[in-house]
Structure formats: C-alpha cells, structure tokens
Structure 1
C-alpha cells in the first residue's frame, strides 16, 4: 500500500470521508495522524543536525548502564 497525507478545510471533511468510504478495507485504510507528529519531526531533525555538525553528545555503554540502573532504582520503591 501507499500512504499520502491530505490537508483540507474542515468544511469538506464529510465529503472526503463519504468518498473514501466507497472503497473496501482491502483497498483503503484510513490512518489517523499522530497528534505529536510535527513536534517529533522537528525534534528528530534537530538531533540529526547535531549529529551532522558534530555537536551531538554520545554516551558509552557503561554510562548508559549506570543511568538506566539509577532510573530503575528510583522507580522500584
């Protein structure tokens, strides 16, 4: 299947949904967009830019293990 994103005026939503409902579920699946999509996209682009320009901060496996252990112990109680 292919995916497209549509932007439309709210007043035509009923017409669009009426048209789309004429297709079977094998032909068309309506997927609700994640409400945080644009926020997540912006954040990921910022992180990718840090990787590209060399300003990203990396952790060793050992540092990550310590951080995870501290986080787990904080919520175990």
Structure 2
C-alpha cells in the first residue's frame, strides 16, 4: 500500500469521506495523522539543516556516557 497526505478545506471533508468510503478496507485505510506531526516535522527539518550546514554538535560515545553519568549522579539521592 502507499500513503499520501491530503490537505483540504474543512467544508469538503464530508464529501471526501463519502468518496473514500466507497472503497473496501482492503483497498483503502484512513489513518489519522498525529496531532504533533507538523511540530515534529519542523524540529526534524531544523536538525537536518544543522547537519547539512555543519552547525550540528556531535558527541562521541564516551562524551555521552560522561554526560549521562553526571546527570544521573545529580538525581540519585
């Protein structure tokens, strides 16, 4: 199956759903979009842009381990 994303005026939603309901569940499945999709998309695009333009900060595994150990030690007691 393929997935597409549709944007439409709310005034035609009933017509679209009526048309889509003419297909069987084997042919078409309506998937509700996550309410945070657009926000997540913007965040991921921003991070991708930073990687591509060279401004992203990367850490070695040792650096991450050190940061995590420090953070955990703050909240142990």
TM-score category (smaller protein): 0.7 to 0.9
Structure 2 unmatched ranges of 5 or more: none
Q: Which residue of 1 aligns with 2:25?
A: 25
Which SS does the other structure have where 2:66 is aligned? helix
Residues in 1 aligned to 2:66 and 2:22: alpha-carbon distance in whole angstroms: 55
Which SS does the other structure have where 1:14 is aligned? helix
How far has the Cα of 1:36 moved from its partner?
1.4
Q: Which moved more, 1:38-47 or 1:23-32?
A: 38-47
Structure 2 length as normaliser, TM-score?
0.78
User: Alignment length, in residue pairs?
Assistant: 76
RMSD over aligned Cα atoms: 2.0
Structure 1 unmatched ranges of 5 or more: none
Q: Which residue of 2 aligns with 1:68?
A: 68
Using a 3 Å threshold, how does the CA distance of structure 1 residues 59 and 20 change in structure 2: closer, same or farther? same
